[in-house]
Amino acid sequence: MLTAAAAAYMGAGSIVEWRDEEESDISVQAYLVYPDAHVGRIMTGVVIVPDCAGFRTPYVCTFADKLAEQGYKVIVLDLPVTTATSDEWTNSGTFRKWKDTAAAVEASTVRWALRCRDLLKQTYEVQRVGVLGLGYGAEVAVRIASSFDAVALLSPTALPPPSSSTAPTLLVTGDRNEYIDSSKVVHALALFVVPGQRHGFALSRIADEDAATLAIADILDWFIIHLHRFRTALCTSDGISDSVPPKPAPVSPAVLFEDLSSMKRTYDLPHPMTLADLVEIYVDIWDINQ
């Protein structure tokens, strides 16, 4: 049962709960929110692994809700949380003690995060899933990166180790992050360092709204590129040199138009579209069916 404090941070979503597969006496919870209507050409979702505050905080729930407004189905895994205030979420004894506790159950956290991914895919028909790690959650996200289509790490509490994962990975951090030396991060696929910012600058400890907005925008762009597989005009940050998935080989127009002519269903377009956009959508459907 949720406490009054937890219920106050429910946001627009709801709590889902399941029994741990390996320890049936443990009940696992997550915060789930999804858009009113499908947006984009394929169904996409994001698993958020939060920091030491878990999902029962306004900024985590609000961020998940904002992602859902962009068309993503979002699930936020709960974690063992600390009772420390946000001012104590620095590299202090209080935080290190909590982190040691969280690290001791990291194997379970990894299992639960993958369960969140499976829930999106199997129950909510999501085709491509990204993972976003916040703070300590970034360490967990790195461990499961190979199981996702795109990875974003925000204000990590440790440098991610070299990984054999081929999932496109974005690391966003401030150059004054107390936990890591951003100059040593060379193996992330893309690195965006925000000048003058400390740990938690974009969510829990916002001191510069412009810096926070820029960081969040880069994460959103990253998911648009690597989950929806197309580039937007917003992706103009000079700090990112990302790797775009290769463009698939063109499909014969004769094959496309032959199949289009045999389609029996009709429907109203949500807004005026060019023929090129329609053909591009059909090519994506073709890819998925293949």
Per-residue pLDDT tens over the stretch 240-265? 444 445 555 666 666 666 665 565 55
pLDDT, mean over the chain: 72
Neighbours of 92 (CB within 10 A): 13
Spell out the domains of the chain, with CATH numbers in brackets: 4-227 (3.40.50.1820), 253-289 (no CATH)
Is the pLDDT at 239 greater than 60? The verdict is no
Apex CA 143: angle with CA 140 and CA 144, to 5°? 95
Cα within 13 Å of Cα(289), Cβ side: 6
Top pLDDT among 158 and 31 is at 31
Region of poorest pLDDT, from 17-21, 113-117, 257-261: 257-261
- Selected residue with higher pLDDT from 209 and 99: 99
Residue (of 274, 277, 279) closest to 255 by Cα position: 279
The answer to whether 239 touches 191, Cβ cutoff 8 Å, is yes
Are 28 and 18 within 8 A, CB to CB? yes
Beta bridge partners of 27: 19
d(CA 141, CA 222): 15
Which is it for the CA torsion 142, 144, 146, 152, positive or negative?
Answer: negative
pTM reported for the whole predicted model: 0.68
pLDDT band of 57, cuts 50, 70, 90: confident
C-beta of residue 159 within 8 angstroms of C-beta of residue 182: no
Quote the CA–CA distance of 202 and 210 in Å, as a whole number. 9
**pLDDT at 172 (0 to 100):** 83
